[in-house]
Amino acid sequence: MAAAKSPDKAFPVSWEMFHRDCRALTWRLAGHGPFSTIVTVTRGGLVPAAIVARELGIRVIETICVASYGHGGNQPETSQGELTILKGVAEEIRVLGNGEGRRVLIIDDLVDTGKTARVVRELLPAAHFATVYAKPMGRPLVDTFITEVSQDTWIYFPWDMGLTFQPPIHGND
């Protein structure tokens, strides 16, 4: 697979900003519930799922483990490779997600191209799908999101960044 072109724009997200956006997502979701179960898409969906679960009082949290970004060994992190489901959803939650449907809430940090969202939607077609951030190609696949960013933007999540000194823009005076 050829390496993907680097994204043109960067969108760094701090912990405070991410927490605020997750709480805003929760406010929107509160009107769509009640939900009995969260299915979170790992790894990116783990942090927003924890925040949403706390805010909505949901205790049943399941994971679907999907690998797509740079899992092919020599791929850069910003390229999306083949999609691999590493762990599916428990049968009782699949039944709930296909029966009662909207009582199941799928949470992810971001919908990008929609590849992951399509696979998860196939497993739980009646569930409510929510992401914190959405790009135009994937946006039609989610029911609720907070912030849309352009397709050529790379979101730098707080768990992907470290604290480092940044020199002043004006140089060394």
pLDDT digits (tens, 9 = 90+) for 119-172: 999 989 889 999 999 999 999 999 999 999 999 999 999 988 877 766 777 755
Model pLDDT for residues 69-114, shown as the tens digit of each residue: 654 444 445 555 688 899 989 888 876 656 555 689 999 999 999 9
Instruction: Give me the domains of the chain, ranges plus CATH numbers.
Output: 13-69+79-157 (3.40.50.2020)
Neighbours of 35 (CB within 10 A): 23
| Catalytically annotated residue among 21, 112, 160, 173 | 112
Active site residue 152: no
Active site residue 112: yes
- For residue 8, what are its two tokens? 């043109």
- What are residue 105's phi and psi, to 5 degrees? -115, 120
| Catalytically annotated residue among 21, 109, 152, 160 | 109
Strand-pair category, 60-69 with 80-87:
antiparallel
**Which residue in the block uniquely carries the two structure tokens 């599916």?**
88
What is the pTM (predicted TM-score) of this model? 0.82
